[in-house]
Chains A and B, each alone.
Chain A
Amino acid sequence: MFDFLEGYDLLGAFWVTVKLTIFSAIGSLVLGTVLAAMRVSPVPLMRTFGMVYVNVVRNIPLTVIIVFSSLGLADVFGMTLGAADDFEVKYFRLAVFGLAAYTAAFVCEAVRSGINTVPVGQAEAARAIGLSFTQVLSHVVLPQAFRSVVGPLTNVLIALTKNTTVAAAIGVAEAALVMKEMIENEAQLVLISAIFAFGFVVLTLPTGLILGWVGKRVAVKR
């Protein structure tokens, strides 16, 4: 029944999905936190920049961003991200780039909502002992903010896991692309789809459960 699976690297495809998720998660977490810091900073220009970034990027379809990285950045501008002749690596990195740029907008909003949950008194106390804005943010507010947004960030991470399938649009051999190939070439439509659906349930369900538990544990009780 499962003979048709031979000749396809199923685990390899899901491994690419996992790698895409992890790299873009790290990238978007860093970029998103910087954007969130900008959006709450005392400098109006930075606040505006953060706001414009979030509202622009959030409203462009991810597919457009990823296809643009491939056709625009790579083909027209010759952006290779350090992988000039290895096509596989190049498109993988472009996909990570697109996913991170897109997801950062959502991470930024999640972190910012976390900053809003920190009581005003905490920041006031921190300022009263003479901490600067950067110190207030990095020593007092952000550590608490992160602990309270584990839940929303988990949602962003799960969405990111599913969004990695969009990389199929530029030929990155992750799960969705391999599924497309398989259902076009093999007769077992329902079975193949079920396998891939199951794969994504396996990837997202534990993420939700584990991080849900972590979120409850680390949340600051108020």
Chain B
Amino acid sequence: MTSVLYDAPGPRAKRRNIVYTALFLALLALGIWWAIRVMADKGQLEWSLWKPFTEAEAWTTYLLPGLANTLKAAALAMVIALPLGALFGIARLSDHRWVRVPASIIVEFFRAIPVLLLMLFANEFYSRSTNISSDLRPLYAVVTGLVLYNASVLAEVVRAGILSLPKGQSEAAKAIGLRKGQTMTSVLLPQSVTAMLPALVSQLVVIVKDTALGGAVLAFAELLNARGTLAAYYANVIPSFIVVAVIFIVLNLILTTFASWLEGRLRRGKRSTGAVLAAPGGAEEPVAEPGLGKTDDGRGA
């Protein structure tokens, strides 16, 4: 691979790179050796701590129900946030001031506030003003927090998606006599959806990760919370964290891989206009700036 920053290596550079590789490898090996030593010292490598994960019980009693709750909350949040986000995204593009301005204020407000505050508020609100049973309340609170935050992020994605379409699209729609609503629903939205899909799938990663907040703060029985009960039973703090982290990584890697596969497909596909929105960082929060567009976020390379 040649790069902007260095030439294809000649004999001397090759030798130098081998030296650097060896040094870095030594450093890495030292680090790993140290980590293993510390774990062994603290007795974290004993088979009895890891054995539960080879048996069905740990999975069926703790991890799988936790994972199921994580997925349930994430799926619910996505399904509710998506139409809501689309609605607000379109509302922000409205010609009418009285629609555009309130929608913008709501979207900007909920984007500026940490998800955790929204979840805390929802939890307390449900416990005071509704009679949702206390078993279900954490799920409701988590989903509410996720929906409020992610709907406003998705609203921005939708808005950027629609704005990324060439102007000719709506002009052509106008020319054949479509009304504004018709232009939106039958010309602009269907096309922008293809541009937005990768960003939407990536937003799922953010939602999956944020469910863990509910587990830590609201006692919602998702994966991280299930890890706590599991570790209390088997007394295996470190192994349980490693297993849970691996589950999250695999789950999210599947989603990101799917998103970048989709992105590649859409870029090549003739159906789209060629405009594909960059996924919003795949982050807890760094949100795609509309119009910032195609920064290479490393997934394609």
Seen from chain A, the residues whose Cβ lies within 8 Å of a Cβ on chain B are 39-40, 42-46, 49, 51, 54-56, 58-64, 67-68, 71-72, 75-77, 102, 106, 109-110, 112-113, 115-116, 118, 120, 123-124, 127, 133, 136-137, 141, 151-152, 155-156, 158-159, 162-163, 165-166, 168-169, 175-176, 179-180, 183-184, 189, 193, 196-197, 200-201, 204-205
| A159–B248 CA distance with the chains assembled, in angstroms | 21
Interface string of B198-209 (1 = CB under 8 A from A): 000000010011
The segment from B55-63, B84-92, B278-286 found at the interface with A is B278-286
A45 contacts B21, C-beta separation under 8 Å: yes
Chain A interface, DSSP helix/strand/loop, else mixed? helix
A59 and B256 contacting across the interface, CB-CB below 8 Å: yes
Q: How far is the CA of A117 from the CA of B252 in the complex (A)?
A: 28
Of the four ranges (under 10, 10 to 19, 20 to 34, 35 or more), the interface on chain B belongs to: 35 or more
A133→B283 contact, CB < 8 A: no
**Contact between B44 and A43, CB atoms less than 8 A apart:** no
Q: Chain A residue with minimal CB distance to B20?
A: A43
CB proximity of B219 to chain A, nearest CB, Å:
11
A49 to B24, CA, bound (A): 10
- Complex interface: chain A residues within 8 A of B125 (CB): 189
Q: How far is the CA of A205 from the CA of B121 in the complex (A)?
A: 21
Q: Which of B161-194 contact A (CB under 8 A)?
A: none
Residues in B with CB closer than 8 Å to A196 are 117
Say yes or no: B120 contacts A179, CB within 8 Å: yes
**What residues of chain B have their CB less than 8 Å away from a CB belonging to chain A?**
3-7, 9, 13, 17, 20-21, 24-25, 28, 38, 42, 44, 109, 112-117, 120-121, 124-125, 128, 205, 208-213, 215-217, 224, 231, 237-238, 241, 244-245, 248-249, 251-253, 256, 281-287, 289, 292, 295-298
Among residues of B, the one whose C-beta sits closest to the C-beta of A54 is B298
CB distance from A18 to the nearest CB of B (A): 14
- Evaluate whether A159 and B284 lie within 8 angstroms (CB atoms) in the complex, with A76-B237, A120-B4, A169-B216 already known: yes
Specify the chain A residue showing the minimal Cβ separation from B294.
Answer: A113
With CB as the reference atom, state the residue of chain B lying closest to A57: B249
Number of A-B contacts (CB under 8 A): 191
The answer, among A43, A62, A169, A176, for a CB contact under 8 Å with B284, is A62
Which residues of chain A have C-beta atoms less than 8 A from B13's C-beta?
42
> How far is the CB of A216 from the nearest CB of chain B, in Å?
13
**Residue from the list A141, A159, A179, A189 in contact with B285, Cβ < 8 A:** A159
Per the bound structure, the CA–CA distance linking A196 and B296 in Å amounts to 35
Query: Judging by beta carbons under 8 Å apart, are B38 and A77 in contact?
Result: yes
Are A189 and B248 neighbours in the complex by a CB distance under 8 Å? no
Out of A51, A136, A168, name the residue touching B116 (CB < 8 Å).
A168
Residues of B contacting A123 with CB < 8 Å? 4-5
Give Cα A166 to B218, complex, Å: 12
Tell me the bound Cα distance from A124 to B2 in angstroms: 12
B256 to A, closest residue via Cβ? A59
13 other A-B residue contacts (CB within 8 Å) besides A44-B21, A162-B113: A46-B24, A49-B24, A58-B252, A61-B248, A62-B209, A63-B215, A64-B224, A127-B6, A137-B5, A141-B4, A163-B284, A176-B117, A183-B124
Whether A162 lies near B114 (C-beta < 8 A) is: yes
Contact between A180 and B120, CB atoms less than 8 A apart: yes
Bound CA span A62–B20, Å: 32
- Is B21 a contact of A56 with CB atoms below 8 Å? no
A219 to B115, CA, bound (A): 32
CB of B215 within 8 A of CB of A43, answer: no
Interface centre among B208, B215, B217 (most CB of A within 10 A): B217
| B4/A72 in contact, CB under 8 A | no
> Once the chains are docked, how many angstroms separate the CA of A153 from the CA of B197?
24
List the A side residues contacting B295 at CB < 8 Å.
Answer: 113, 116, 152
Would A165 and B117 be within 8 Å (CB), given that A42-B9, A109-B298, A151-B292 are in contact? yes
Tell me if A63 and B216 are in contact (CB < 8 A): yes
In the bound complex, how far is the Cα of B117 from the Cα of A162, in angstroms? 10
